Amino acid sequence: MDIRKKQRAVVEALEDVKGRDIVVYNVARLSPIFDRVVIATGESTRQVKALADHVRERLTRLGATVRGVEGSGSSEWVLVDLGDIVVHVMHPNARHYYHLEEIWGGKEVRLKRAQAVRRRVRR
């Protein structure tokens, strides 16, 4: 699956379950292991788990390989490893404490909103 389609699917899955403050970083120059880091916030431990589960389910349905899920026991911070994309779903306290944006703050990837793309196609 093309990385742009995969990152769009991840963001849409997070938006479906009302994930907040979603950012996508292009870290291809920083890591030889993966190309994108996605960070999102869930308001509660229940929502953090639901966000990670929804990403895993959506990407599996689309044919992507989910290499692993870590942290679903405590649900303060759940990591979903999709190979070339690593998704961090975090409780607000964990996100503030670990501040992954400082570590992975490479080039932020700007995604076109689905509605904006549809409007352009209609014109």
Kindly tell me the sign of the dihedral angle through the C-alpha atoms of 67, 29, 20, 120.
Answer: negative
Average pLDDT of the chain to the nearest whole number: 87
Q: Which domain holds residue 91?
A: 3-122
Of 55, 49, 63, the C-alpha closest to 8 is: 55
% pLDDT > 70, the chain: 85
DSSP state of 33: S
Predicted local distance difference test score (pLDDT) of residue 72 = 79
pLDDT at residue 118 tops 50: no
| CATH code: domain of residue 30 | 3.30.460.10
Partners of 68 in the beta sheet? 81
The label of the residue with tokens 């403050």 reads 21
Of 23, 75, 11, 79, the C-alpha closest to 47 is: 75
Over the stretch 46-97, which tens digit does the pLDDT of each residue have? 999 999 999 999 999 999 999 999 997 878 999 999 999 999 999 999 999 9
pLDDT at residue 24 tops 80: yes
Alpha carbons 39 and 1: distance in angstroms, whole number: 21
Q: How many structural domains compose the chain? A: 1
Length, in residues, of the chain: 123
